[in-house]
Amino acid sequence: MLNAAVQKANEIGLAISVCIVDESGLEKGFIRMDGAPLISVETSKKKAVLAAGFGMATGTPWHEFVQGDPILQKGVHDLPGFILLGGGVPIYFDGILIGAVGVSGGHYKMDEQCANAAVESLSANNG
Protein backbone atom coordinates (compact mmCIF):
# COMPACT_ATOMS: atom_id res chain seq x y z
CA MET A 1 0.00 0.00 0.00
CA LEU A 2 2.82 2.40 0.80
CA ASN A 3 4.45 1.64 -2.55
CA ALA A 4 1.18 2.13 -4.44
CA ALA A 5 0.66 5.55 -2.86
CA VAL A 6 4.23 6.57 -3.66
CA GLN A 7 3.92 5.29 -7.22
CA LYS A 8 0.78 7.39 -7.73
CA ALA A 9 2.53 10.41 -6.22
CA ASN A 10 5.42 9.97 -8.65
CA GLU A 11 2.94 9.76 -11.55
CA ILE A 12 1.31 13.07 -10.62
CA GLY A 13 4.55 14.82 -9.63
CA LEU A 14 4.00 14.98 -5.88
CA ALA A 15 6.14 14.27 -2.81
CA ILE A 16 4.02 12.83 0.02
CA SER A 17 3.96 11.26 3.44
CA VAL A 18 1.83 8.13 3.84
CA CYS A 19 0.63 6.67 7.12
CA ILE A 20 -1.25 3.39 7.50
CA VAL A 21 -3.01 2.64 10.79
CA ASP A 22 -5.00 -0.30 12.11
CA GLU A 23 -8.64 -0.04 13.20
CA SER A 24 -7.61 1.43 16.55
CA GLY A 25 -5.41 4.12 15.01
CA LEU A 26 -2.07 2.51 15.79
CA GLU A 27 0.57 3.11 13.15
CA LYS A 28 1.38 0.04 11.06
CA GLY A 29 3.37 1.66 8.26
CA PHE A 30 4.81 5.02 7.31
CA ILE A 31 6.90 6.56 4.56
CA ARG A 32 7.94 10.11 3.73
CA MET A 33 9.19 10.76 0.24
CA ASP A 34 12.21 13.00 -0.21
CA GLY A 35 10.95 16.55 -0.59
CA ALA A 36 7.60 15.99 1.11
CA PRO A 37 6.65 18.93 3.33
CA LEU A 38 7.58 18.37 6.98
CA ILE A 39 4.01 19.14 8.08
CA SER A 40 2.82 16.23 5.91
CA VAL A 41 4.23 13.77 8.46
CA GLU A 42 1.75 14.66 11.20
CA THR A 43 -1.03 15.52 8.76
CA SER A 44 -0.92 12.09 7.10
CA LYS A 45 -1.28 10.42 10.50
CA LYS A 46 -4.20 12.67 11.50
CA LYS A 47 -5.99 11.82 8.26
CA ALA A 48 -5.47 8.09 8.77
CA VAL A 49 -6.57 8.13 12.42
CA LEU A 50 -9.71 10.14 11.65
CA ALA A 51 -10.66 7.83 8.76
CA ALA A 52 -10.14 4.76 10.96
CA GLY A 53 -11.86 6.28 13.98
CA PHE A 54 -15.08 7.06 12.15
CA GLY A 55 -14.87 4.65 9.21
CA MET A 56 -15.38 7.58 6.87
CA ALA A 57 -13.03 9.28 4.43
CA THR A 58 -11.75 12.74 5.25
CA GLY A 59 -12.53 15.64 2.94
CA THR A 60 -15.82 15.77 1.06
CA PRO A 61 -17.64 13.10 3.13
CA TRP A 62 -16.87 15.00 6.34
CA HIS A 63 -17.75 18.33 4.78
CA GLU A 64 -21.12 16.96 3.67
CA PHE A 65 -21.68 15.43 7.11
CA VAL A 66 -21.24 18.73 8.96
CA GLN A 67 -22.58 21.08 6.29
CA GLY A 68 -25.63 22.98 7.42
CA ASP A 69 -25.24 21.93 11.06
CA PRO A 70 -23.71 24.81 13.06
CA ILE A 71 -23.04 22.68 16.13
CA LEU A 72 -21.12 20.06 14.15
CA GLN A 73 -19.32 22.70 12.07
CA LYS A 74 -17.91 24.30 15.20
CA GLY A 75 -17.63 21.21 17.36
CA VAL A 76 -15.72 18.80 15.15
CA HIS A 77 -12.68 21.05 15.19
CA ASP A 78 -12.46 20.51 18.94
CA LEU A 79 -12.05 16.75 18.47
CA PRO A 80 -8.43 15.79 19.18
CA GLY A 81 -6.61 15.27 15.90
CA PHE A 82 -9.55 16.27 13.70
CA ILE A 83 -8.67 17.33 10.18
CA LEU A 84 -11.20 18.07 7.46
CA LEU A 85 -8.75 17.88 4.54
CA GLY A 86 -9.13 14.97 2.13
CA GLY A 87 -6.55 12.20 1.92
CA GLY A 88 -7.70 9.86 4.69
CA VAL A 89 -9.43 6.68 3.50
CA PRO A 90 -10.78 3.85 5.66
CA ILE A 91 -9.85 0.28 4.77
CA TYR A 92 -12.59 -2.34 4.87
CA PHE A 93 -12.18 -6.09 4.40
CA ASP A 94 -15.32 -8.19 4.04
CA GLY A 95 -17.31 -5.22 5.33
CA ILE A 96 -15.20 -4.89 8.48
CA LEU A 97 -13.14 -1.77 9.20
CA ILE A 98 -9.52 -2.92 9.53
CA GLY A 99 -7.66 0.39 9.34
CA ALA A 100 -7.03 3.44 7.20
CA VAL A 101 -4.47 5.21 5.08
CA GLY A 102 -3.62 8.90 5.29
CA VAL A 103 -1.72 10.85 2.66
CA SER A 104 -0.44 14.42 2.79
CA GLY A 105 1.88 16.50 0.68
CA GLY A 106 -0.15 18.26 -1.97
CA HIS A 107 -3.59 19.63 -2.63
CA TYR A 108 -6.08 17.41 -0.84
CA LYS A 109 -7.51 16.17 -4.15
CA MET A 110 -4.04 14.91 -5.11
CA ASP A 111 -3.62 13.35 -1.66
CA GLU A 112 -6.95 11.55 -2.18
CA GLN A 113 -5.70 10.08 -5.46
CA CYS A 114 -2.66 8.61 -3.71
CA ALA A 115 -4.68 7.30 -0.75
CA ASN A 116 -7.21 5.69 -3.08
CA ALA A 117 -4.37 4.07 -5.05
CA ALA A 118 -3.09 2.56 -1.80
CA VAL A 119 -6.48 1.09 -0.88
CA GLU A 120 -7.09 -0.15 -4.43
CA SER A 121 -3.72 -1.93 -4.37
CA LEU A 122 -4.83 -3.89 -1.31
CA SER A 123 -7.95 -5.05 -3.14
CA ALA A 124 -5.96 -5.93 -6.25
CA ASN A 125 -3.49 -8.02 -4.26
CA ASN A 126 -6.19 -9.94 -2.38
CA GLY A 127 -8.32 -10.90 -5.37
Our count of domains for the chain comes to 1
81: confidence class by pLDDT, cuts 50, 70, 90: confident
* pLDDT reported for residue 73: 87
The CATH number linked to 74 is 3.30.450.150
What is the 3-state secondary structure of the chain? CHHHHHHHHHHHCCCCEEEEEECCCCEEEEEECCCCCCHHHHHHHHHHHHHHHHCCCCCHHHHHHHCCCHHHHHHHHHCCCCCCCCCEEEEEECCEEEEEEEEECCCHHHHHHHHHHHHHHHHHHCC
Tell me, letter by letter, the H, E, C secondary structure of 21-33. EECCCCEEEEEEC
Output the pTM of the full model.
0.93
Domain of residue 112 covers 2-125
Which pLDDT score is estimated for 126? 65
Q: Quote the CA–CA distance of 109 and 123 in Å, as a whole number.
A: 21
Is the confidence at residue 127, as pLDDT, over 80? no
